Structure 1
């Protein structure tokens, strides 16, 4: 597994693996962490908490791997208990639970389809039933497929992309708001694709633009309740979604088009989610935070 000592000053261009990456065997989406080469770094050996989220309870969708796992681990090391929602990868989900519990916090993994509003309601209720409060909601789960032409995107793929990336965000925010107290935080995961969309990811890019719009609009309503709503816009991030949904020629050079000439590792995203979830971000709402390796949000 790729690791780095983040306490030491380093050249960020060389801090983590750089392309070209070794061609991999075909991986079925959404992919597993164990199938990745090189392995992703989600902070197990490097992230050090300081109590920023002590006593808080978080719900993270897509928490079994990638960014979601890194955020779950960072939240735990900052003192939060975490429920992770996932759809398919049991092995990855249980590894995230192990890491959270090893960090001294409680963890729950709930499998199910967030495309369904009823399941989203059940996720929120599970947090309330288990811990009596919900303080942080991270809408992170996403689906994408890559094609060369709009004609290749099936109705099923388009529907699944919007239901997973956008509809679930609506459902979860709607279900969570009655339980969120002043000081709570909602964090959505958008993408550089919302600002610099590629036709190969047409439905995915459109959903990420919708998330930006939702975040800005909903933040005004949520603040009437004292709840902050922000979003993180990653650039290329080395997660199982990449080798499982992109052709080999794309992931072999994945991230090379950034000024850093490499993709981010999930652990590099986690501190931004921690900031936005913490009281240190008390004056931040309706904002989109780019973690893009130098590519501008424009």
Structure 2
């Protein structure tokens, strides 16, 4: 009798599994087309461009004025609330991309801005005007962050112009792919190292003596510093180094009351990548993320406001925040 009961129970369990299997199979068939061509995710206050983009390529260091579509940096729905009132921020690579978006939001929150940039004068002037529209002052500092002397002079210029330095955003970067290890020349490797590591170190070393309790340093890392990228060996190395530098410097500066954190973006629509990849790859830039599109700079910039503002992140230091459109 017990054997019969067990057989009946087993048969019912098998039937139940068959029903579940059939139901899911029907759902898969009905969803077939949708799954084959998933749509890009739009979860912001406005819709953002999705691949394919016009195929395009730029000479280094890249110009935002030439990028199509134009990166979205002005965050029109972000309402300032004085989070950085009276603060002074120095942003490297602030002429375009993430740096420009950060400058705009910092100014909207009440900060005065200094922009360090290499030679993109037209982009830098556009950023200056955008900061002025927010009611902030903006100092333009063209030069090369790989130069120790430039970093010293840039910080000195900020102190002379504004009398203080409360926030340092290390954001300037050099990135260019190399398909194989043999393709990565010493000059290429050296340029990446000096821009992405020396530049961060020089700026931090010059800035810290002028920073007071409550100041903040924010470094721009990258998902490549976490996952690596087979064609960005040098860039991945530097971004991993930036993450380690962030955590080490955070511990080093705790006693001074200076917080140090990093933002680690995935693909972001800025001049950096269209000046790094061939046109056909630029056309599909960001398509492999879960959201099926790259971030726009204004989607990344709020993380910098968060780390810069003592009202938002007074108990946070040594953190790496990935913003990568979902795993």
When normalised by structure 2's length, the TM-score is: 0.85
More divergent stretch after superposition (43-52 vs 251-260)? 43-52
Alpha-carbon distance in 2 for matches of 1:293, 1:257: 10
- Give secondary structure in 2 for the equivalent of 1:223: helix
Determine if the alignment matches structure 1 residue 244 to structure 2 residue 244.
Answer: no
The equivalent position to 2:321 in structure 1, one of 284, 289, 298, is 289
Alpha-carbon distance in 2 for matches of 1:40, 1:244: 14
Q: CA deviation at 1:48?
A: 2.7
Alpha-carbon distance in 2 for matches of 1:20, 1:202: 26
In the TM superposition, what whole-angstrom CA distance separates every residue of 1:192-211 from its partner, at most 9, and x where no partner exists?
00111112111111100000
When normalised by structure 1's length, the TM-score is: 0.93
Determine if the alignment matches structure 1 residue 206 to structure 2 residue 206.
Answer: no
Alpha-carbon distance in 2 for matches of 1:245, 1:11: 26
Q: CA deviation at 1:173?
A: 0.9
- Give secondary structure in 1 for the equivalent of 2:62: coil
Q: CA deviation at 1:88?
A: 1.3
Matches within 5 A, 1:23-38: 23-24=55-56, 26-38=57-69
User: Which structure dedicates a bigger proportion of its chain to helix?
Assistant: 2
Q: List structure 1 segments (4+ residues) > 3 angstroms apart after TM superposition.
A: 44-47
Q: CA deviation at 1:249?
A: 2.8
The equivalent position to 2:175 in structure 1, one of 138, 144, 166, is 144
- Give secondary structure in 1 for the equivalent of 2:321: strand
Matches within 5 A, 1:46-125: 46-125=77-156
Alpha-carbon distance in 2 for matches of 1:254, 1:272: 22
Structure 2 residue runs of 5 or longer lacking an equivalent are 1-40
Q: CA deviation at 1:46?
A: 3.9
Counting matched residue pairs gives 285
Alpha-carbon distance in 1 for matches of 2:272, 2:291: 21
